[in-house]
Amino acid sequence: MEANEQRAIGILTSGGDAPGMNAAIRAVTRAAIFAGFKVFGIMRGYKGLITDEIEEFSTQNVSNIIQRGGTILKTARCKEFQTKEGRQCAYDVLQRHGISALVVIGGDGSLTGARIFANEFQFQIIGLPGTIDNDLYGTDSTIGYDTALNTIMDCVDKIRDTATSHERLFFIEVMGRDAGFLALNGAIASGAEAAIIPEVATQEDQLDELIANGFRKSKNSSIVLVAESPSTGGAMGLAERVKKEYPNYDVRVSILGHLQRGGSPTAYDRILASRMGAAAVDALLDDQRNVMIGIKNDEIVYVPFTKAIKNDKPINRELMSTLRRLSI
């Protein structure tokens, strides 16, 4: 790139959508234009890179989107990008548009794709952690997690209205593939009796203990949040077991499902997305590459892709103890 040439960057969202992705798109676009870059919006994640669904963005393209759920860039799975030929095609498209860097917003699968592409073509990529699961290492929070947590809490608040009126035991299944953040924090936030999460191997004992001395003692209804992960059996599996062993319980199951991904983002997610989006542009100016923007102790940090997608972010054990002490 010559000094007098205007730099061009692309932005895309990939993988499962998460609330706040639009706030991130807005932030990257505006901070980049503020820095003097041209910005291209790439549709449908890596797919749009290959099919050349690319449009130049002005500040107006991202007006009035900060409050919207979903992603205006849409997202899709893309098998072609998993092949060398697909990635070569994507690279050619980027070259044709003069795009010299990418900002990729997504979860661990998306960042894995970014890492491979970046290495293969020595391409500059900055990642933003966009996933409701909060399962990326190196950042205290991911874009979408706080909104999903509040959505879950609002749903459980509603279910508690009816659970209390009817005196029932509810198993409520929430998202979080192999990560119990949403289930555990959702349980504390909604005053649920327990959370069954994949990080705890002895989850069956949890349930036994819960049933043995937990609910129906002083309480007239109980709510248990269950992470959808196969290792927990899911809400259905637990309910079946309880119905068999304790046939006199009035057990109900609710699977919250896809509504957890949607909705207008919370203040926390909008601010996080705005800060991370601006930081992605700083990272580009700073000639960073192959890093995900993270937040640690309220400060922006750069996390190498290889570290971020290791996926072993630990659950805070203090929270489990808090949940148990408060559900008496």
Long-range contacts of 59-62, Cβ-Cβ distance < 8 Å, separation of 24 or more: 59/29, 59/30, 59/33, 61/29, 62/22, 62/25, 62/26, 62/29, 62/30
DSSP state of 210: I
Smallest distance from a copy of itself to CB 219, Å? 8
User: Is 250 annotated as catalytic?
Assistant: no
Structure tokens belonging to residue 97: 């548009």
Question: Please, which of residues 28-47 interact with a copy of itself by CB under 8 A?
Answer: 30-31, 33-34
User: Smallest distance from the beta carbon of 96 to a copy of itself, in angstroms?
Assistant: 25
Angle at 317 between CA 311 and CA 322, to 5 degrees: 135
> 135 or 290, CB closer to a copy of itself?
135
- In one letter, which amino acid is 53? E
- Does 67 contact a copy of itself by CB under 8 A? yes
Shortest separation between residue 156's beta carbon and a copy of itself, angstroms: 8
Site for a copy of itself in 163-182 (CB under 8 A): 163-167, 170
218 makes contact with a copy of itself (CB under 8 A): yes
For a copy of itself, the binding residue among 268, 285, 301, 304 (CB under 8 A) is: 268
How do strand 124-129 and strand 99-106 relate by DSSP bridges?
parallel
DSSP 69-81: SS-TT-----SGG
- Cβ-proximal residues to 237 (8 Å cutoff; 6+ apart), any chain: none
Nearer to a copy of itself, 139 or 203 (CB): 139
Among the options 108, 133, 135, 146, which is catalytic? 133
- Is residue 317 involved in binding a copy of itself (CB under 8 A)? no
Examine residue 235 and tell whether it contacts a copy of itself (CB under 8 A).
no
Stretch that binds a copy of itself, among 65-73, 91-99, 119-127, 285-293 (CB under 8 A): 65-73
Closest by CA position to 120, among listed 80, 90, 76: 90
Q: Which of 244, 246, 238 is nearest to 170 (CA)?
A: 238
301 is an interface residue for a copy of itself by CB under 8 A: no
- State in angstroms the smallest separation of the CB of 138 from a copy of itself: 14
Residue 135 binds a copy of itself, judged by CB under 8 A: no
Number of residues that bind a copy of itself (CB under 8 A): 87
Cβ nearer to a copy of itself, comparing 126 with 278: 278
Letter for the amino acid at 127? G
% helix, strand, coil for the chain, step of 5:
45, 20, 35
Q: Does residue 54 bind a copy of itself (CB under 8 A)?
A: no
Site for a copy of itself in 68-87 (CB under 8 A): 68-71, 74-76
The tokens describing 259, both together, are 């509504």
On whether the CB atoms of residues 225 and 172 are closer than 8 A, the answer is yes
Supply the minimum distance, in Å, between the C-beta of residue 27 and a copy of itself: 6
**Alpha-carbon span 266 to 146, nearest angstrom:** 7
Other CB atoms within a 10 A radius of the CB of residue 83 amount to 11
What distance in Å separates the CA atoms of residue 98 and residue 117, rounded to the nearest whole number? Answer: 17
Stretch that binds a copy of itself, among 59-67, 95-103, 193-201, 306-314 (CB under 8 A): 59-67
- 189 lines the binding site for a copy of itself (CB under 8 A): yes
Task: Decide whether 74 or 231 has the Cβ nearer to a copy of itself.
Answer: 74
**Candidate ranges 78-86, 94-102, 304-312, 320-328; the one touching a copy of itself (CB under 8 A):** 320-328
Catalytic residue annotation: 133
